[in-house]
Chain A
Amino acid sequence: MLIQEGAAAAFHPQLTGAASVAVRILWLIPVVPIIAAGIVAVLKQPRRRLAAGLAIGSMSFSFVLALFAFAHVVASWASGFAVRETVNFAWFHIGNEAVAMGWILDPLAAVMLVMVTFVGLLIFIYSTGYMAHDENFTRFFCFLALFAGAMLSLVISNSLLLLFMSWEIVGLTSYLLIGFWYHKPSAAAAAKKAFMTTRVGDVLFLLGMVWLFAETGTLLFYNHGAGSLEGFALGILLTQHAGLGLTAAGAIGLLIFAGAVGKSGQFPLHVWLPDAMEGPTPVSALIHAATMVAAGVYLVARVFPLMQAGAAGIGTTAAFGSTTALEVITWTGAVTAVFAALIAVAQDDIKRILAYSTVSQLGYMMAGLGMGGIAVGMFHLITHAFFKSLLFLGAGSVIHGSHDEQDIRRMGGLRSAMPVTFVVYAIGMLALCGFPLLFSGFWSKDGILEAAHGWSLSKAPFDLLVFGALLTAFYMTRQVSYVFFGRWRGHGHAHESPRVMTVPMCLLAFFAIALGVIGTPAWAWFRGFLLNEPAAVNFAAFASSDLLMLMGASTFVVFLGIGLAWWLYGNRSPAAEEPDKLEKAAPWAWAALRNRLYVDEIYEVTVLAFFHWWARVADWLDRRIWGGIVAGVAMAFRGWAQLNRLIDTFWVDGGFDKGCEELSTSGGLLARAHTGRVQTYLRLLALGFVVLFIVLIWSSRP
């Protein structure tokens, strides 16, 4: 339990006692979509309506349950109780150790549950329109439902093990859905790339998990004082030193963070996320923008006590003590935010721009977690989930409406052809840019900037993040002016998408604006809810000159970015072959950005070259050394066998054959006596008697 200083003096968080109904039925939230996925998996392909109905129905059910759980948490919080209810059970025993599993209901989980189920539900509905003509419609919904179930189980898990297992299942569904159109070689390659890149982080995550279990003997997060994130276990972890000035807590935290780096596409493992756009657009929206990639951020938020262990002055933004782990998270996030935003400037694929933007925004979330704590990072996660899935659905609508064209240079003027898409896309774009006051993105991004400004260790992350904000405004304006302004440069006629696609987008657009309300400095409801502080409307918060200065600066930066981009690209409708304005100005820099700052190429000549070399070495070892030994042994046995054969043929068989021959000959001789004539026998008998008689007489002679 985080005891908040300051405000906590007047407001004592307490655990509620007996498990409530909300937490006892919490397990249904992930299980129902998983069952739906299982049923859809065995449906025949033509049963489209049933498949979509099952997936959407299960998701609606989960959404209602999530709302119920959320309401329960909010109600308890409002009446002064901090909810952290868990249901734990022993999964199996190894020797004397019990491996425990469990689920948890706390504000963090409740917020994520509502976000995932709501965004998921809208994207499911949207998908029925987007995928309407795909022959593998049922398979798509099977994967989507499985993903949703695994993601929800990740959110509610109270055990790092359960979380890890769900983490791997969402990784699997991500793989399956990126490679959904597996007949495209690029999609199959992207799926493999995503799976293997995230695996790098996952291995480190697993190591951290094993280490945590070795130190504390439990993987449960909270277990009435005996969990791994509670005081006792943290105390043990803080006394262990792991080298490099890290405590065990910090080292384990960093290993777990490595998993988050892989999943959340942080530098340097971000390379898979832009390629993941090969998947269907609803998948990009749900998995690669709103939920799965945010799972890394959620993971860091979930194990935040581990990251924060040992820091002085926990709590408020102003006096936020930092640890090595949090510093690493901050720097990774800040670098990623700018790095990806830079690349996004020079991309021409509508989804790739959004993908780099997602990487960049995930960097913001990480930086926010590192410098401002759970509330700051998670608020950006939630608002981003809404406006980024909105942008992706908008991009899907644009792609759908302009006949599967993804190159923004071959679009243009869609403002009049797709008015609804234009309006919601503009809302999403302004929210992403952080357009002042009206949009949720402004408030969540401002929270991060404010935390960065207050960070005591360095001002560099603040500068990086402000620059990132400028770039964000720039590339989004560039994209929007290419796509929606100027004249139509594609082929055929663009058309507006059906209502089943536009209605979910309108709902998301509403929340892209409305969610800002719960996170403004004047009414820090979200922050209070997550940190168990009371939230009250207080417009005096704006009176702080620092805050006003920050808001002013960020507003200026956003307007600067939008203005610059509009000045360069607005309403110009250049031909697709024409070089970009910036390319003319700085061809060298443009080429570097366009080629994604050569990260893939660097991996190609370092990591991949090493692996290729290593594979060749292993191949050589296999062929020459091991193969030689095996062939030698085989030769030796073959020679031995030949020798045995010779002995057998000429010695054993020869002796045996001779014996048989002799036996046969003597049998033939004896058979001659066997004439069948009674008198011959009798004669022999008589002869025998005579001989016997003579012998008797002879021997009885005196």
Chain B
Amino acid sequence: MTPLTAYLLVAALLFAIGLAGALTRRSAILVLIGIELMLNAANLNLIAFWRYGPHPEFLTGMMFAIFSIAVAAAEAAVGLGLVISIYRHTQTTDVDQITRMKG
């Protein structure tokens, strides 16, 4: 087993945990945390493919990961903002209670 495979397995595990959290948790905050986990699993993949790819001397994978983390931070901020706004509106963060999207 090459180191890459081990990294990819870890990343897949991480993604599966994040997905399970995002799909099963009722609290909107925990759903957001699950999404963050999945994003980080993707970042881990990017780093692993760069490190064991054909050109590890260029810092492309690093750049990708840093960009992704920045976008994730912004997304987390927007997501938290939305959650706070929804909370103010509905007095809850239980996503099962929030069914306004039903037409």
Contacts and interface: CB of A to CB of B under 8 A. Distances in A.
A677 B95 CA distance: 7
Contact of A678 (B19, B24, B101, B103): B101
A679 B99 contact: no
B31 interface: yes
Contact of A674 (B19, B98, B103): B103
Contacts of A676: 98-102
A540 interface: no
B23 interface: yes
Given A674-B102, A676-B100, A676-B101, A683 B23 contact: yes
Given A677-B101, A679-B23, A679-B24, 13 more contacts: A674-B102, A675-B99, A676-B99, A676-B100, A676-B101, A677-B98, A677-B99, A678-B98, A679-B31, A679-B95, A679-B96, A682-B23, A683-B23
The CB with the most chain B CB atoms within 10 A, among A674, A675, A679, A686, is that of A679
Nearest to B25: A679
Nearest to A683: B23
Contacts of A675: 99, 102
B22 interface: yes
Nearest to B103: A674
Interface of B: 19, 22-24, 31, 95-96, 98-103
Majority-rule SS of A interface residues: helix
Contacts of B23: 679, 682-683, 686
A678 B23 CA distance: 9
Nearest to A685: B23
A685 to B, nearest CB: 10
A675 B100 CA distance: 9
B46 to A, nearest CB: 19
Contacts of B31: 679
A677 B97 CA distance: 8
Contacts of A677: 95-96, 98-99, 101
Contacts of A682: 22-23
A674 B100 CA distance: 11
Interface in A652-702: 674-679, 682-683, 686
Contacts of B103: 674
Contacts of A683: 23
B89 to A, nearest CB: 15
Contacts of A686: 19, 23
Closest 9 CB pairs of A and B: A676-B102, A676-B99, A676-B101, A683-B23, A679-B23, A682-B23, A679-B95, A677-B99, A678-B95
A677 B103 CA distance: 11
Nearest to A678: B95
Contacts of A674: 102-103
Nearest to B20: A686
A675 B98 CA distance: 10
A679 B19 CA distance: 11
A677 B96 CA distance: 6
A461 B19 CA distance: 135
Interface in A432-454: none
A679 B96 CA distance: 8
A686 B31 CA distance: 15
A77 B22 CA distance: 130
A678 B97 CA distance: 10
B19 to A, nearest CB: 6
B78 to A, nearest CB: 15
A677 to B, nearest CB: 6
Contacts of B19: 686
B24 to A, nearest CB: 8
Contacts of B22: 679, 682
B22 to A, nearest CB: 7
Contacts of B101: 676-678
Nearest to B31: A679
A253 B103 CA distance: 96
Nearest to B96: A677
Nearest to B97: A677
A475 B95 CA distance: 125
A674 to B, nearest CB: 6
B99 to A, nearest CB: 3
A649 to B, nearest CB: 35
A306 to B, nearest CB: 96
A671 to B, nearest CB: 9
A688 to B, nearest CB: 13
A693 to B, nearest CB: 12
A679 B35 CA distance: 12
12 contacts: A674-B102, A675-B102, A676-B98, A677-B95, A677-B99, A678-B95, A679-B22, A679-B31, A679-B95, A679-B96, A682-B22, A682-B23
Interface in A257-286: none
A153 to B, nearest CB: 85
A675 B31 CA distance: 18
A686 B19 CA distance: 9
Contacts of B96: 677, 679
A678 B79 CA distance: 14
A675 B95 CA distance: 12
B96 to A, nearest CB: 6
A684 to B, nearest CB: 10
A21 B95 CA distance: 112
A674 B101 CA distance: 9
B14 to A, nearest CB: 16
Contacts of A678: 95, 98, 101
A213 B22 CA distance: 107
Nearest to A676: B102
The CB with the most chain A CB atoms within 10 A, among B23, B24, B103, is that of B23
Interface in A127-149: none
The CB with the most chain B CB atoms within 10 A, among A674, A682, A683, is that of A682
Nearest to B99: A676
Contacts of B100: 676
B15 to A, nearest CB: 11
A607 B96 CA distance: 102
A167 B20 CA distance: 111
Interface string A4-34: 0000000000000000000000000000000
B91 to A, nearest CB: 18
A677 B26 CA distance: 11
A683 to B, nearest CB: 5
A678 B95 CA distance: 7
A57 to B, nearest CB: 89
A682 B96 CA distance: 13
A678 B101 CA distance: 8
A676 B99 CA distance: 4
A686 B95 CA distance: 18
A682 B24 CA distance: 10
B103 to A, nearest CB: 7
A433 B99 CA distance: 120
A85 to B, nearest CB: 97
The CB with the most chain B CB atoms within 10 A, among A674, A677, A683, A686, is that of A677
A676 B101 CA distance: 4
Nearest to B22: A682
A683 B22 CA distance: 9
Contacts of B95: 677-679
A678 B99 CA distance: 8
